[in-house]
């Protein structure tokens, strides 16, 4: 959720907003289902990314990549955030995600525990949960809208006051659309489920981002992030930042987020580093693809 990736959120009652969010969520699920069905039929013959492609990450924006990493590769994405809310300041890190390509268009990923340290209130510090997931790139057709489906679960391994109670499964649909002149659009729809939470059983998250590629190695983005908890008021952020590829397999990134209401931190600043290792285990390769130098 937005709270896990960028900062903590407190929910407050607002039934009208919740009803609107749930309505949008239902429509998004129907749309995603249609896209999954259509893309599965039309894209069976197409292949996903290979080691000839440059690194594509799930950070620094909240919107995850719709592209699965190459089969046989391991990608490690990490970062550190500093946030402020009222008089409290929090440092959290490392926000690490391990991604492994286990087959063509299919990857296994896991979010490792992140430690959140409150500068002024040490009693509010602790670890997040371990969260494994499977990601399937449904629509790998080049030049068209790319769509993936992710199913994961946050296991109850962290500090309950930080991560929440019990196991928390989620279903996610990130998408992206490459436009002309280096511009691109992307977004993500996610349903988080909290069966052990007596107050908030479900949280719907929606994101939308605009990206501009400045050079072959550098790009900038602007992103809206909204969490709509069941039985609570929304938490909204405006997130922006950029990335620079040191090489086809290495990336530096940064982001700055501003809270749009009182349910999120006033601001968040973060930096990160990602790296991909190719051909770590046997995988079927595209004969026409060759490693990039």
pLDDT digits (tens, 9 = 90+) for 17-46: 334 444 444 444 444 444 444 444 444 445
- Per-residue pLDDT band for 16 (boundaries 50, 70, 90) equals very low
pTM beyond 0.85: the answer is no
- Per-residue pLDDT band for 143 (boundaries 50, 70, 90) equals low
pLDDT score of 34: 45
The CA distance from 136 to 147, in Å, is 9
| Model pLDDT for residues 90-142, shown as the tens digit of each residue | 999 999 999 999 999 999 999 999 999 988 777 679 999 999 999 999 987 65
Higher pLDDT, 242 or 125: 242
What b/e string do you get for 198-229 counting C-beta neighbours within 10 Å, with b at 16 or more? eeeebbbbbbebbbeeeeeeebebebbbbbbb
Residue 15 scores a pLDDT above 70:
no
């Amino acid at each position: 959720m937005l709270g896990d990736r960028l900062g903590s959120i407190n929910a407050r009652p607002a039934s009208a907003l919740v009803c609107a969010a749930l309505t949008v969520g239902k429509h998004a699920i129907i749309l995603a289902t249609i896209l999954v069905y259509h893309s599965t039929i039309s894209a069976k013959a197409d292949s996903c990314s290979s080691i000839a492609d440059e690194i594509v990450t799930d950070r620094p924006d909240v919107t995850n990549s719709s592209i699965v990493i190459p089969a046989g590769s391991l990608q490690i994405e990490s970062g550190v955030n500093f946030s402020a809310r009222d008089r409290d300041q929090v440092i959290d890190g490392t926000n690490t995600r391990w991604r492994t390509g286990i087959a063509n268009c299919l990857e296994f990923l896991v979010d490792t525990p992140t430690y959140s340290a409150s500068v002024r209130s040490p009693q509010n510090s602790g670890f997040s949960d371990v969260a494994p997931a499977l990601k399937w790139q449904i629509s790998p057709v080049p030049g068209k809208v790319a769509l993936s489906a992710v199913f994961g679960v946050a296991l109850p391994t962290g500090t309950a006051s930080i991560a929440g109670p019990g196991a928390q499964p989620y279903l996610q649909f990130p998408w992206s659309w490459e436009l002309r002149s280096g511009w691109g659009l992307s977004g993500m729809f996610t349903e988080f489920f909290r069966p052990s939470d007596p107050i908030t059983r479900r949280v719907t998250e929606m994101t939308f981002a605009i990206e501009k590629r400045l050079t072959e190695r550098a790009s900038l983005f602007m992103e809206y992030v909204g969490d709509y908890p069941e039985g609570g008021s929304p938490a909204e952020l405006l997130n922006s930042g950029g990335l620079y590829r040191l090489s086809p397999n290495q990336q530096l990134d940064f982001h700055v987020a501003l809270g749009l209401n009182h349910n999120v931190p006033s601001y968040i600043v973060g930096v990160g580093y990602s790296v991909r290792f190719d051909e770590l285990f046997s995988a079927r390769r595209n004969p026409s693809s060759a490693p990039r130098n």
